Amino acid sequence: MKQDTLSQFYNYQTIANNAILDQDFESAIIHLNEALQLVINSDDNILKSDVYLNFAKLQYQIHNYKKAAAEVLNAIIFLKKEDNQLKLGQAYNLYGLVLTKLKDYKKAETYLKDADIIFTSLNNEKNQAITIYYFGLLELEKNNPSVAINYLEAALPLLKSNNLKYKQAELYLYEAFAFLKLNNLNNANNLLSAKAAFNNYNLLVTKNSFSNLKIEGYRVESQIASRENKPQEASTLLDTYLQEKELLYALYIQAISKSSGYDSNIGDKDEIIASQQKEINKNQKSIYFSKMTTGLSIALIIILSLLALSLFKNNNLRAKANDLLKDKNVELTIAKEKAERASLAKAEFLSTITHELRTPLYAVTGLTHLLLEEDPKPNQKEHLNSLKFSGEYLLSLINNILDLNKLEANKVEIEKTTFSLKKRINDVLITLKKTAEDRKNSLTLEYDESIPEKLIGDPLKLSQVLINLIGNSVKFTQNGEVTIRINKLSSVKDKVNLHVEIEDTGVGISMQKQKSIFETFNQGSLQINRKFGGSGLGLSIVKNLLELMNSKVYLESVLGQGSKFWFDISFNISEDTFGDTDLGNKAYNIDYKSLEKVSILVVEDNKINQMITKKILEKHKIICKVADNGLDAIKMVKENDFKLILMDIHMPGISGIETTQLIREFDKKLPIIALTAVTIDENLDEFYKAGFNEIIPKPFKPEDFFEKISYTLKAS
């Protein structure tokens, strides 16, 4: 096709598309017909399919759905002759949408699934977002509003990231309609959600002048007004909707009559083209034959020449390849050394920064604890509880970073203790119960009672895996279900193999994101991070912990329908009948009376931390003195009869470890506890060798703090 003809074709297509948006259907029909006449005699199946798809979009707009379906099928026939998966997927998408309107739901779902497969294989997030959106419309047409909302919520961040504003506006309108159709105990919340979605729709329509979307907006706004007990406003809006719709239907009828005969002569033209093509083919066969023999002779000479040349160059290339391989090996060795240095630098940085974060965080949590115990006013208590929650969240994030750092550095070891699996899982569910209730989710446990009561393994790490996986499902599900299934796969002698599964009905994860979801600091998208929060560390920790326990986590997810995580894991069976030896959920047994009048020295250089530790101790009538540094501490120990020392590690002058070593030169029995923000797991031997009796990491739970003090005093 000539360039000027092709240019004219695209011009007609553009004018027609703009006319459809402006509801100037007559102009759209005229220009699409013009475009069709330009390509009907060509061999370009792609251009023909483009015209038919635009005719289908026009027929869809004027609610002539049967005609729209026929036009899409024409396009699909042409596209199947070509290798253009992208356009074929777009045609499947449109056909699925048209079939939805024709109420052929099963067939619509089939074509939308085929479109999703194509876009997933092409890694085309933009068109995949539209497919998910159309799945939402399908579920809405099937009167499944809650499922529809899941699909719409899943599609929204993808539409935003691809700047599909028109589709966003449409989606918000249908989402508002879906929330209004929900009929459950949360009708007040549903109305608020509908209003929020409608406001977002209204903002996009106004800002981008999407005037053709306004009519359906009147209907939804009328329903919102009706729910808010505003009958007069609802009636006015409904009248406006019916009037505008009546005018639009008149345009539809006019457009349908105009478009009814546009393709009446295409069949005749096809026959003429076919007969002419036969004649052309006959004439060309003889020309092709003579050209082919000449071409083959020339090709044979060229091939023989190239073969001789390639044999000559082959030895040179092989020598160069060997030299290049040697250079690459040197480069890889250098890159490996750089990576190892970078990993070491990262570990040191994380260790330092987490210590610097823990020190002020101790002040936050300590002061919050003190203020909560001083009988605050109700409104003050609410603020203090919020502060306590924020402090605990920040501490959890710091601990996650440390856990990940230790896992990547292979510094985590698996412990072997006796524990009750069912009790562990129930404890996790109790921990997450309030979060689930806030998100209006139901938590269901399906537990295989044939699993042995007592197992041997690492319950703390298993709990960490379960909290991350179940917590993740709870966070990304709303008004839905999270189901935990624990089944016994097999049992041989003293070992049992289990299958653990966590399934939710949340927003789901796209195929593209599933490939990277277990990487550090990775979430589904920036929009998901903003909407649901989180650091993106949980699943990375899960992956590393399960690998440490000789297991592997798997994921199965569909956007808008939910996700399922599962893993298989083995434990030894315990013969111990005396309950958990794991103290992860122990009850505290502290004799505060025995601590009264006990003299304790606090060695701490930070003035705020001094004050907090002193006040926490004095609340239980403990006598407390403070030393600002190691040298003052040594002097005070020699001059006073302390029963115990709480020793900070990082101090100006001599460190807490050096101070303890100097005290041990003249006092071997005085109990010394390290009270430190240092990451202690990898330094335990160093602490005990220096002469410490116990270690308390900051920030701490007051119960842990006093229990360790009480235990250390009794042991001494």
Taking the C-alpha atoms of residue 630 and residue 701, their distance in angstroms, rounded to an integer, is 26
Mean pLDDT throughout 656-673? 93
- Residue 530 — very low, low, confident or very high, per pLDDT cuts 50/70/90? very low
Q: Pick the residue with more confidence: 225 or 8?
A: 225
Query: 281-290: per-residue pLDDT in tens?
Result: 544 554 455 4
Residue 575 has pLDDT above 60, yes or no: yes
Banded model confidence at residue 585, pLDDT cuts 50, 70, 90: very low
Contact in structure between 157 and 183 (CB atoms under 8 Å): no
User: What is the arithmetic mean of pLDDT over 355-374?
Assistant: 72
CA 327, 329, 335, 338 dihedral sign is negative
The mean pLDDT value of the chain amounts to 80
Q: Would you list the domain boundaries of the chain?
A: 1-123, 417-573, 592-715
Token pair, residue 626, equals 């403070």
**Per-residue pLDDT for 1 more than 70?**
no
Nearest to 580 by CA among 427, 465, 412, 413: 427
Lowest-confidence pick of 17-31, 171-185, 695-709: 17-31
CATH-assigned architecture of domain 1-123? Alpha Horseshoe (1.25)
Q: Residue 187: its pLDDT value, please?
A: 76
Angstrom CA distances, 158 to 85, 154, 324, 403, 527, stand at 21, 8, 44, 32, 8
Q: Please, are residues 369 and 703 in contact by the beta-carbon 8 Å criterion?
A: no
For the domain with range 417-573, which CATH number is right: 3.40.50.1970, 3.40.50.720, 3.40.50.2000, 3.30.565.10?
3.30.565.10
Say if residues 78 and 40 touch (Cβ distance below 8 Å): no
pLDDT in tens, 224-242: 998 888 888 988 888 888 8
* pLDDT for the residue numbered 242: 81
User: What CATH architecture does domain 592-715 belong to?
Assistant: 3-Layer(aba) Sandwich (3.40)
Q: Which stretch of 72-76, 459-463, 482-486 has the lowest confidence by average pLDDT? A: 459-463
Which SS3 state, helix, strand or coil, does residue 529 take?
Answer: helix
Tokens of 201: 């729709």
pLDDT of residue 433: 86
| Cβ count within 10 A of residue 633 | 29
Which residues are paired to 565 by β-bridges?
502, 555
Q: What is the model's pLDDT at position 633?
A: 94
Residue 504, pLDDT score: 94
Task: Tell me the residue type at 25.
Answer: F
Whether residue 566 is predicted with pLDDT greater than 90 in this model: the reply is yes
Q: How far is residue 511's CA from residue 325's CA, in Å, rounded to a whole number?
A: 37
pLDDT tens by residue, 589-607: 678 888 899 999 999 988 8
- The stretch 361-376 carries a mean pLDDT of 76
Three-state secondary structure along 164-187?
CHHHHHHHHHHHHHHHHHCCCCCH
Question: Poorest-confidence range of 116-120, 328-332, 555-559?
Answer: 328-332
- The residue that leads in pLDDT, 321 or 265, is 321
Task: Find the angle CA(201)-CA(183)-CA(505) to the nearest 5 degrees.
Answer: 80
State yes or no: pLDDT of 349 exceeds 80.
Answer: no
User: Cα separation of 712 and 338, whole Å?
Assistant: 46
Whole-number percent of the chain with pLDDT over 90: 31
* Confidence class for position 49, pLDDT limits 50, 70, 90: confident
pLDDT computed for residue 400 by the predictor: 62
pLDDT, position 107: 94
DSSP state of 695: E
Instruction: Give the 3-state secondary structure of residue 374.
Output: coil
Q: Return the pLDDT at 700.
A: 79
- Residue 6 token pair: 């092709």
| Mean pLDDT in residue range 689-697 | 88
Share of the chain above pLDDT 70, in %: 78
End-to-end CA distance of the chain: 97
pLDDT of residue 277: 47
Over 50: is that where the pLDDT of 276 sits?
Answer: no
pLDDT at site 468: 86
Residue-level pLDDT at 535 = 43
* CA angle (12, 15, 21) in 5-degree steps: 140
Q: Tell me: the pLDDT tens digits for 168-186?
A: 999 999 999 999 998 765 6
